[in-house]
Amino acid sequence: MRGNSFLRICALIGVASVAACGNTATTQPAQSSGPTSAPQAAPTITSEPFGQVNGTPVSRYTLANGGLRVRILDYGGIIQSLEAPDRRGHADNVVLGFPTLDGYLASNGFASKPYFGAIVGRYANRIAKGAFTIDGAAFHVPVNNNGNSLHGGTSGFDQKVWQATPQNGADTVGLRLRYLSPAGEMGYPGTLTATVTYTLDRDDRLTIDYGATTDAPTVVNLTNHTYWNLSGESGLGIYDEKLTLNADRYTPTDATQIPTGQLAEVKGTPMDFTTPTAIGARITDADPQLMNGQGYDLNWVLNRGDDTSLVPAATVEDPASGRTLTMRTTQPGIQFYSGNFLTGAYTGTSGHAYRQGAGLALETQHFPDSPNHPEFPTTTLNPGQTYHQTTVIQLGTE
């Protein structure tokens, strides 16, 4: 995802343009039978063809509520676009992505693959040297990033066509995705049945529920890799956007971006986002951790104690558009990546090249390399257990 390049702060100028869906098959959710004080149309879900992968059809599903519209592919579970209104009611696409399936397929061959909007797994983030043990048994998975394994290896969940099922509720619509990962795929033990459900409600909340079961001990760490730019996908980049992270500590890394095992305090460092701070304010500081990732590409330890319920994770505010994004999650960590290795090699949905700082990723997940750090929250999943994590994303304006 992230090869070597010099850090450059660049602007992307343009007007976002997302093609409207053509002939679609529409499923209307049932209307609530109870009285409402302010009746409004229920959220809807539609679908349309979006190409093929090795002869397997790919579909694009659109979840819509008022001015919010989310387009999701059953290939990789990718959030391909998300249109949200600004403070004046003007809707723009606020996530990075490709206009066609071919763009996603072509990016699979890049060493600095961006994983735009995708579900990543079986293990999100890095595993040192692609090696780990479970109950004394050694396992090896493909290395694809500075001698380490990143996001499941060379052919992770982002490259699979998932089985998709629309979900309808009185006040919500959703898309349930299921993928069966056979034992030994990418070197991981156990047959893993993974599900990811995207749900959009009337309050413009997008909930992502992750689930998994296994028939043998394995490791699992799932997340979504959407890149956000609240000024608009073709806008001026994310360095002026203000970020808040509910984290007093982070996990420092070595030169290959593998955690040292330390949980370091953010206070007094460029990693302190405990109050709203412009992303570009300290990104060029001569801090070794920023230099390792050529910008922000680290895991923050969320303030949650022993609580496993939803807690605040991140808030992003865009002064120009007035758009806001808040995240809550059950996960223990969040990887903040500031798009450091976007070099202009990818052309997005608006026809503009994505350069450094074109978008930011906020990946709620377990810590990197947890299988090799027993002091970190465990990512081991055993038969009879159910992996379950939830992240709720709220779009709004101020």
Residue 33 pLDDT exceeds 60: no
Residue 118 pLDDT exceeds 80: yes
Q: Which amino acid is at 150?
A: L
**Which residue is it, tokens 């570009």?**
280
Residue 24 pLDDT exceeds 60: no
Half-sphere exposure of 159 (CA within 13 A, CB side): 16
- Compute the distance between CA of residue 364 and CA of residue 220 in angstroms, rounded to an integer: 14
> What pLDDT score does 39 carry?
54
DSSP assignments along 114-145, one per residue: --TT-EE-SB-SEEGGGEEEETTEEEE----B
Confidence of residue 17 (pLDDT cuts 50, 70, 90): very low
What is the mean predicted confidence (pLDDT) over 320-333?
98
Residue ranges in 184-277 assigned as alpha helix (H): none
- Using a 10 angstrom Cβ sphere, with 0-12 exposed, 13-18 middle and 19 or more buried, the burial of residue 132 is buried
Name the token pair of 143. 């290395």
Beta bridge partners of 219: 380
pLDDT digits (tens, 9 = 90+) for 47-83: 999 999 999 999 999 999 988 999 999 999 999 999 9
| Summary mean pLDDT of the chain | 91
* Residue pair 173/43 in contact by the 8 Å Cβ criterion: yes
Name the token pair of 269. 């460092």
Number of CB atoms found within 10 A of residue 184's CB: 11
pLDDT digits (tens, 9 = 90+) for 168-194: 988 999 999 999 999 999 999 999 999
> What pLDDT score does 170 carry?
86
Q: Which residues are catalytic?
A: 225, 363
pLDDT digits (tens, 9 = 90+) for 234-271: 888 999 999 999 999 999 999 999 999 999 999 999 99
User: What percentage of the chain carries pLDDT values higher than 90?
Assistant: 86
- Compute the distance between CA of residue 179 and CA of residue 76 in angstroms, rounded to an integer: 10
Phi first, then psi, for residue 383 (nearest 5°) are -55, 140
Phi first, then psi, for residue 155 (nearest 5°) are -145, 80
Residue 327 pLDDT exceeds 90: yes
pLDDT digits (tens, 9 = 90+) for 91-100: 999 999 999 9
**Is 13 or 277 the better-scoring residue by pLDDT?**
277
DSSP assignments along 140-182, one per residue: E----BTTBEETTSTT-GGGSBPEEEEEE-SSEEEEEEEEEE-
> What pLDDT score does 40 carry?
66
Element (H, E) at 300: strand 297-301
- Compute the distance between CA of residue 296 and CA of residue 2 in angstroms, rounded to an integer: 12
What is the mean predicted confidence (pLDDT) over 301-316?
93
* Residue pair 396/324 in contact by the 8 Å Cβ criterion: yes
- DSSP label of 326: E
